Amino acid sequence: MKHLKIAAALLTMGLATSAFAIDGEFGLKGNVQTQVTKSIADEDNNFSSGWIRANVGGQYKSENLDGLIMLRIFAPEFGNKIDGKNYDKILADLYWVNYKWKLGESDMLNLKVGRWKTDWSQSTHFGTYVDKDLTKRGLWMRDYSHNALELGWKHDLNQLNVMLATQDGNANRGYLRVEDDMKFTFPLEVKVAYRGNLVDVVQNTAYVTHRVAAYASYDLLSMLRVYGEYSCVYTQDDDINKTADNYIAPETKYYLPGIYFQPFYLGLDFAPKTGFMNLLMSNLMVEWEYINKRDNLYAVTAHTYDDWAWTVAWVKKIGSSKLQFSVYSENEMSDVGLAFRLTSTIK
């Protein structure tokens, strides 16, 4: 009888799910990406890093249900090395379903479950401070993957999302993330977000780190946009027992009790729509980032990292391909790095 009840429950869930998915379309997705980086100070290698990979999967879209599954595939030379032998590396990169319920003319609820990415960055070098480790920067270093359950509410041009995410299989580590994306009838977009590791303290002894961030973008002209992001990261200075059996260290080493970090960056995006300049580029982005006492992020005593950092990114879309070439500062403003990525979309 117990097994019959379980089977009935599973059948009911399956029928309920299929009711969301009878009116949509399914399509294959795929692309091949190539990326190389070169630090001018690195004289021992032709490239400082490089890889070629494929992303392949499928996407489903309907009025009340969306879904995506994407695999990321690296060749043996860029994959895993086990016992001295190279193997392919295949990653479950993205997989999620998003249920949608329309409430009247201007409101919609959605429930998203799975693994997906968030990324506020523009040139892919700076930003997304509410999620990403502040020591990570460089080409395509700002996106962040969540394993989560998220409830969303869309009202007119506003989208509010409340996420509960886990970082282990027991849900003993995780965080609450709230984001509000506000668009307007004039060319302004504003995002605000909060993230705190509030799940950690349910079963563990842990410090709580609060992250708050705000992003804004405004079109000065049809081809010129200004944007920027500011964040405040603070770890509570609580009196906790770090020798307790269930003590877990903060997510990163620089999350020290009572310490604030306030990173921000500003950028300009030149995006010609027509004419000769459009033949040369789709976007040209210039960005400046500032983190006060950046050395403290790396726990170094001697000055090693400049507080300011910069990047210039050139982007060109040609048919189904996208090229990006970036020049950026590394440890110090005068340390120059180069990066290139080519994404060729197959489907």
pLDDT value, residue 263: 96
pLDDT band at 20 (very low <50, low <70, confident <90, very high): low
- The whole-angstrom distance between residue 344's C-alpha and the CA centroid of its chain comes to 21
pLDDT band at 10 (very low <50, low <70, confident <90, very high): very low
pLDDT score of 21 more than 60: no
pLDDT score of 88 more than 50: yes
pLDDT score of 9 more than 50: no
Cα within 13 Å of Cα(97), Cβ side: 8
Across residues 304-325, what is the average pLDDT? 96
Q: Is the dihedral of CA 77, 81, 86, 92 positive or negative?
A: negative
List the domains of the chain with CATH numbers.
25-345 (2.40.160.10)
CA–CA distance, 32 with 277 (Å, rounded to integer): 27
Token pair recorded at residue 44: 């021992």
Across residues 102-112, what is the average pLDDT? 94
What whole-number percentage of the chain has pLDDT above 90?
77
pLDDT tens across 244-298, in order? Answer: 999 999 988 889 899 999 999 999 999 999 999 999 999 999 999 999 989 989 9
Mean pLDDT over the full length of the chain:
91
Answer for the pair 29, 49: CB distance below 8 angstroms, yes or no.
no
Answer for the pair 176, 167: CB distance below 8 angstroms, yes or no.
no
pLDDT value, residue 2: 47
pLDDT score of 160 more than 70: yes
pLDDT value, residue 153: 97
At 153, phi and psi to the nearest 5? -135, 120
Strands (E), the chain: 25-39, 49-61, 65-74, 80-82, 85-87, 89-103, 107-118, 144-155, 158-166, 174-183, 188-196, 209-221, 224-235, 260-261, 264-270, 283-290, 308-318, 321-329, 336-345
Token pair recorded at residue 103: 């409430």
Task: Fill in the amino acid letter for 104.
Answer: G
pLDDT tens across 116-150, in order? Answer: 999 999 999 999 999 999 998 888 888 899 999 99
pLDDT value, residue 19: 53
pLDDT tens across 203-236, in order? Answer: 999 999 999 999 999 999 999 999 999 999 999 9
Nearest Cα residue to 193 out of 266, 110, 118, 265: 118
pLDDT band at 11 (very low <50, low <70, confident <90, very high): very low
